[in-house]
């Protein structure tokens, strides 16, 4: 049975598009059962609707606190019985009950080489820090913000002429749009799992995230 994937967005939805394409062409043995956005103006919603994917807007402004928002979000998601919940530019911190509820099936993509630069403005911070390498990471979500066990991490060299915008663009196109569909393909296939707080990949625990060299040909 193909995996039921729920995708959570707040913005443009380029990762959502890459995931949707990978499901449509069979690289991910899954289907997107719902896209939820906390922002009504998120461009990714329009894309999802064009594709005939069910969408829900759940504005955080309609809830008094994180706990009540996350309870409502869980109720929406669970109506679709997701096997996987993929955070794809969902710009909200999730409460521990939410994270616990989806443990092992909750993934996030973060635009940095975690554990470097958790949080916001990662590209600017990489430039300010003079990092020679930068990238993006797909990880299981745990209670620790941007801190869960990493599955795959793609790196690129920072160029002397890079700006925040060029770096963001290269990280998106060269890394994010490849590693997220790949990680989801592995999860849907059962190649990867969260096991005792660590990532198990094809039967062994990873002591470091996989890299771009682990991408299968279809995801390069
Ligand atoms: C992506 O770069 C993603 O890694 C980042 O937001 C962007 C969403 O773009 N996520 C975070 O910063 C999470 N802390 P998209 O909506 O076009 O996929």
How far, in Å, CA of 181 to CA of 205, rounded? 21
Within-domain flag for 193:
yes
Encode pLDDT of 86-122 as tens digits. Answer: 999 999 999 999 999 999 999 999 999 999 999 999 9
**Would the CB of 135 count as within 6 Å of ligand 1?**
no
**CATH code of 207's domain:** 3.40.50.170
Quote the domain boundaries for residue 107.
3-121+134-156+175-219
Does 128 map to a domain? Answer: no
Verify cis geometry, omega within 30 degrees of 0, for the bond prior to 121.
Answer: no
Residue 120 CA to ligand 1 centre (angstroms): 10
Ligand 1 pocket, residue 14 CB under 6 Å: yes
Does residue 192 fall inside a structural domain?
yes
- For residues 188 and 1, the answer to whether their CB atoms sit within 8 Å is no
pLDDT of residue 124: 98
Catalytically annotated residues: 110
Q: Domain for residue 186, yes or no?
A: yes
Portion of the chain with pLDDT greater than 90, in percent: 99
H or E element, residue 153:
strand 150-157
Is the model's pLDDT at 129 over the cut of 90?
yes
Ligand 1 touching residue 109 (CB < 6 A): yes
Is residue 1's pLDDT more than 90? Answer: no
The answer to whether position 138 is within a domain reads yes
**Looking at ligand 1, which atom is closest to the CA of residue 16?**
18
* Predicted pLDDT at 32: 98
| Distance (Å) from CA 19 to ligand 1 centroid | 13
Domain assignment present for residue 168? The answer is no
- Could you give the number of structural domains in the chain? 1
Query: Residue written as tokens 């069979």?
Result: 26
> Does residue 166 fall inside a structural domain?
no
Give domain status of residue 21, yes or no.
Answer: yes
- Residue 7 pLDDT greater than 90, yes or no: yes
Residues 6+ apart with CB under 8 A from 139: 107, 108, 110, 114, 146, 147, 148, 149, 150, 151, 209
pLDDT in tens, 157-191: 999 999 999 999 999 999 999 999 999 999 999 99
Q: Is the CB of 89 under 6 A from ligand 1?
A: yes
Chain CA centroid to CA 109, Å = 3
Buried-exposed string 140-173: b where 16+ CB fall within 10 A, e elsewhere: bbbeeebebbbbbbbbbebeeebeeeebbebbbe
Q: Ligand 1: which of 7, 22, 35, 88 to mutate, most ligand atoms within 8 Å of CB? A: 88
Strand partners, 139: 108, 150
Measured from the CB, is residue 92 less than 6 Å from ligand 1? Answer: no
């Amino acid at each position: 049975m193909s995996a039921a994937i729920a995708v959570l967005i707040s913005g443009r939805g380029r990762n959502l598009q890459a995931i949707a394409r990978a499901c449509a062409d069979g690289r991910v043995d899954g289907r997107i059962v719902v896209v939820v956005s906390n922002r009504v103006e998120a461009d990714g919603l329009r894309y999802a609707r064009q594709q005939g994917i069910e969408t829900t807007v759940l504005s955080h402004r309609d809830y008094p606190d994180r706990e009540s928002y996350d309870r409502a979000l869980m109720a929406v998601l669970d109506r679709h019985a997701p096997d996987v919940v993929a955070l794809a530019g969902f710009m909200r911190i999730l409460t521990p009950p939410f994270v616990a509820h989806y443990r092992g099936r909750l993934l996030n993509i973060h635009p940095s080489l975690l554990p470097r630069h958790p949080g916001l403005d990662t590209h600017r911070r990489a430039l300010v820090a003079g990092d020679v390498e930068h990238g993006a990471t797909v990880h299981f979500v745990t209670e620790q913000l941007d801190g869960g066990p990493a599955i795959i991490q793609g790196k690129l060299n920072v160029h002397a002429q890079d700006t925040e915008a060029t770096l963001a663009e290269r990280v998106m196109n060269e890394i994010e749009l490849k590693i997220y569909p790949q990680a989801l393909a592995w999860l849907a296939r059962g190649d990867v799992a969260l096991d005792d707080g660590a990532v198990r990949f094809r039967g062994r625990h990873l002591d470091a995230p996989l890299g771009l060299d682990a991408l299968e040909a279809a995801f390069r």
